[in-house]
Amino acid sequence: MDRSILDSKFFCQFQGFLNTYGFLCSLTFGIIISLIVYVTVVKNFQEIKNYDKYVSVFGPLAFRQINAGVYYCQIVSDDSSLQYNHIQLYYFFIPLWLGIIVILINNISVVCYIKNMDYNEDDKKLVYQILYFPLILIFCGFMFSFGFIFQNYAKSFEHQTFLYCLAQVFYRLQGLLNSFIYGNLPNVMSIIRQKICPQSKQKQEKLQNSKISQISHNSDYKLYKEIEEEDLYQNQAV
């Protein structure tokens, strides 16, 4: 890699942003997947638009980590105080826990809903499998967070080399898991549209037909009563 490129302040800031805050992409798209499953299954949306195009394209792009060995940029600070490290931890863990809460609420809502519906066992298993994806993405965020802790607090421990190597293992494992997740997202979104959406649409149509049938029945009954009353009135007049 050309060193002059790395000397560019913009390039270094951009690369540092991706490396330091890249795991937020895992949270963002984990939440998106859980929301899509929630509104599809629980809210009975009739169709999902081509979300997979945005998720599968912008997901890896937003998360991609640029690492060129010693030619490496990341967001750092001259302030090495404990207070700065604590602030960094808040940056990493507050979004993580908020993401976990949102995803767990969505997943629990979906699981409770399908248990009370007439989904067959295969469809239920399919939904459960899809719900694993946002949870795995959250796990990737944990990897990055723990890696950050080990790397920033290694100076406070005796086994600095071991902790640093462990942090690097977490980073690489996170990248591997994200590659797997993002690589399978188009298939997951396709399954959601093909399997879950049609069923939700059928339920909507069935509900609509039931309402129409009820309205029709009520109209026929009302018409019958009007005719009966009119006949009774005419008989009384005679």
The amino acid at residue 186 is P
Mean pLDDT computed over 178-204: 63
Which of 223 and 229 is assigned the larger pLDDT? 229
Helix axes 23-41, 197-237, angle to 10 degrees: 30
Report pLDDT for 100.
80
User: What SS3 class is residue 1?
Assistant: coil
pLDDT at 170: 72
What pLDDT is stored for residue 201 in this prediction?
55
**Higher-scoring residue by pLDDT: 232, 1:** 232
Q: How far apart, in whole angstroms, are the C-alpha atoms of residue 94 and residue 220?
A: 60
Task: Judge contact between 197 and 46, C-beta under 8 A.
Answer: yes
- Tokens in use for 193? 């549209």
At 139, the pLDDT band (50, 70, 90 cuts) reads confident
**Contact call for residues 193 and 40 (beta carbons, < 8 A):** no
* 115 has pLDDT over 50: yes
Q: Name the β-bridge partners of 68.
A: 71
Report yes or no on whether pTM surpasses 0.85: no
Which of the pair, 155 or 146, is modelled with greater confidence? 146
Which pLDDT band, with edges at 50, 70 and 90, does 198 fall under? low
Average pLDDT of the chain, as a whole number: 63
Residue 70 is predicted with a pLDDT of 35
Structure tokens at 170: 């977490």
| Greater pLDDT, 177 or 217 | 177
Q: Which amino acid does the sequence have at 88? A: Q
Q: Minimum mean pLDDT among 75-84, 112-121, 156-165: which range? A: 75-84
pLDDT of residue 71: 36
| Structure tokens that stand for 42 in this block | 């629980």
Give the integer Cα–Cα distance in Å for 52 and 192: 10
* 75 — pLDDT class (breaks 50, 70, 90): very low
**CA 62 to CA 169: how far, in whole Å?**
21
What is the phi/psi pair of residue 2, to 5°? -70, 125
71 versus 134: the higher-pLDDT residue is: 134
Look up residue 71 and give its DSSP letter.
Answer: B
- Model confidence at 1, in pLDDT bands (50, 70, 90)? very low
Task: Provide the pLDDT for residue 124.
Answer: 73
